[in-house]
């Protein structure tokens, strides 16, 4: 895993994303933070930006953060891309468990549901958590086999 983090949002998550990125760049200057859009509060379609982030994460063996109103739509869209394990998180505990047990490469957040402080704590927890492997690797392998069998749909 490299030190690139791709970030994306829809219009509902735009202002939250801008504020969160500002904080993340201060707290984690050793990471390369790439904002893949959207770039305004003008109405847009979240699957477009979820796909951009997911594609970059897979191609670059990187990580990603997605933000929309609830965090749910962007996670669903991102999970359509083979190789993505995206989880909607709500706090530091859900973020760390998503990494420890599911080896997530994208976390999704709801700008209408959590505070900026909670988001910063969640990202920090996620970045500082290692995948536990062991019995969890077997489950990741099963997910990967489902992806191969059915596609990422």
Options 27, 39, 44, 101, the catalytic residue: 101
48-64 CB burial, b ≥16 within 10 A, e <16? ebbbbbbbbbbeeebbb
Options 38, 39, 44, 68, the catalytic residue: 68
90-113 CB burial, b ≥16 within 10 A, e <16? eebeebbbbbbbbbbbbbbbbbee
Which residues face 8 on adjacent strands? 66
38 is catalytic: no
68 is catalytic: yes
Annotated catalytic sites, by residue? Answer: 68, 101
């Amino acid at each position: 895993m490299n030190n690139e983090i791709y970030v994306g949002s829809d219009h509902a998550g735009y202002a939250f994303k801008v504020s969160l990125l500002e904080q993340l760049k201060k707290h984690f200057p050793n990471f390369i933070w790439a904002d893949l859009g959207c770039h305004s509060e003008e109405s847009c379609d979240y699957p477009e930006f979820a796909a951009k982030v997911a594609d970059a994460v897979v191609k670059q063996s990187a990580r990603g953060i997605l933000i929309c109103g609830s965090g749910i739509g962007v996670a669903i869209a991102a999970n359509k891309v083979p190789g993505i394990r995206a989880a909607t998180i709500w706090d530091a505990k859900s973020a760390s468990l998503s990494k420890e047990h599911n080896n997530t490469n994208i976390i999704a957040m709801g700008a209408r549901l959590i505070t900026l402080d909670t988001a910063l704590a969640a990202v920090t927890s996620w970045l500082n958590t290692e995948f536990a492997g062991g019995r969890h690797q077997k489950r990741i392998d099963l997910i990967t086999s489902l992806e191969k069998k059915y596609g990422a749909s």
